[in-house]
Structure formats: C-alpha cells, structure tokens
Amino acid sequence: MRMENAWADPLFLADWERALFLHFVVDPKELRQAVPFELDLWQGETVFVSLVAFTMRGMRPALGGGATRRLSAALATHEFLNARTYVLGHDGEAGIFFLREWLPNRLARCLGPVVYGLPYRLGHLDYRHRHEDGVLTGEVIARSGGGRLAYRAAFREENDRPELRDFLLERYTAFTAVGGVRRKFRVWHEAWQASAIDAVISDDSLLDRVPGCSGRGRLVAAHYSSGVSDVWMGRPRLA
C-alpha cells in the first residue's frame, strides 16, 4: 500500500509503538452534532468512537535542513491518546475524524492545531504496554477540565472478526476541523498486526471531555499492536 496522490507525499515520518485500541459503541445523535462529516456506520447502523493509546517515537521531517530537524527533535517522542470516530469525506473516502487528543508535549500542543488542525489537549499519560510480560495498563488524566481514563487488558485466546478489525484499524485518511476549517491528510504504513484483547476500564470519565460523547459509550472491542514503523504523515489539505 502506498500513498496514491502527490499531495500525500510525507511531510513527517515516525514510528507508532505499542498501540492499544478501545472501541465504544455510541449514540449517533449527539455525535453527529460534533462531527462535520458523514459518519461511517459499521454494517449501516453502528457508530464507533475509539480511544487509541500509543507512543510516537522518532518523528522527523521527510525533508528539510538542520533547523527543521532540530525543531522536530523537541516533538519526536511522547505518548498520545486519540479519541476518534469513523467518517466519510465528501467523495466517499473512508477515514477517521479526530474528536480530541491528549499528549504531554507543550510544543506539540501549540503546533498541532496550527499545522494539521488537530484538537490537542495537555494531559498526564502513563502507559505500561509491556506485551512481552503480558502487562497492558494505562492511565490518562486531563490537565484541564477534569477527566481520567484508567484501563488494564489481557490477550485473548481467540481473535475477533477480521472484517471488524479492518474497519476500525485500517484507515489511511484523517479528517480534522478547528475554527470552522476542515482539513484532511493521508498516512501510510504497513497493516496493523493487531490482536484482540479483553480490556477492563476502571475509570472512563475522560469520555465526558470528548465532543459528542457526554453520554459515554459501551465498550465492545479492543485491540493491541506492537506498532508500525516509518509511518508517513502527509501534508494537510482543505477538505
């Protein structure tokens, strides 16, 4: 799989490591008011919001001189928590829409909304995704507005339906909207090598801070992947 259009040539490269996905079924009524794109429904009726906890490592510009690389070094490695839903662009292109994202890096918090229109917020993120030892736990605390996510998970003996996993994980266009400006950018990476996991959430109050999810949601699936390397992140374009 490769990026198909010239505008999607990579702006940045990075590794996305030790990614844990929590998938919730939500009521579409409130969510539609928060998402300026058509919702992509699983089997024509189910609306998902997913929380994705991972570590970005080694982000660097695909091109650029020493000054650009020195700036990106300050952003290169830190944890993320993405809250996303599944949408269709105006031409029917399937992708994800970022509802909210938490990260600990203050510089990234400033630049992400400007460059990509990403809805960044600062948070305290503590992941212990040591799949080698069978340990999958994490905690995210918003630094403003309240809200916490705390979870633990274990690998399952059986995987779930591959078609559902692909619907939720294999997305290569991201849509954003900040200040009424709608953008999109493409990504490329090898397919996620993900396993189904059983997750237990002891605190999901952070979902109250996700637009369109004040009624919370019902956890129905979860996945874990050791990660993907050399992810291409394309240039943002108006959507």
Structural domains of the chain ordered from first start? 13-234 (2.40.400.10)
Maximum distance among all alpha carbons in the chain? 50
What is the model's pLDDT at position 2? 45
Query: pLDDT tens-digit profile of 173-187?
Result: 999 998 889 999 999
Tell me the two tokens of residue 17. 């490591």
Query: pLDDT tens-digit profile of 9-64?
Result: 788 899 999 999 999 999 999 999 999 999 999 999 999 999 999 999 999 888 76
Question: Vertex 214, ends 95 and 155: CA angle to 5°?
Answer: 60
Measure the CA–CA gap between 16 and 174, rounded to whole angstroms.
15
Instruction: Judge if pTM exceeds 0.85.
Output: yes
| Contact (Cβ atoms closer than 8 angstroms) between residue 187 and residue 233 | yes
Enumerate residues 6+ apart whose C-beta is below 8 A from 125: 53, 78, 79, 80, 81, 102, 103, 104, 138, 139, 140
If you count DSSP H runs as helices and E runs as strands, how many of each does the chain have, helices first? 4, 13
Question: Vertex 232, ends 41 and 150: CA angle to 5°?
Answer: 55
Residues of the chain with pLDDT > 90, as a percent, come to 79
Please provide the distance, in angstroms rounded to a whole number, between the alpha carbons at the two ends of the chain. 22
Q: Tokens 């274990």 appear where?
A: 154
Q: What is the mean pLDDT of residues 183-209?
A: 95
Q: Tokens 């650009």 appear where?
A: 68
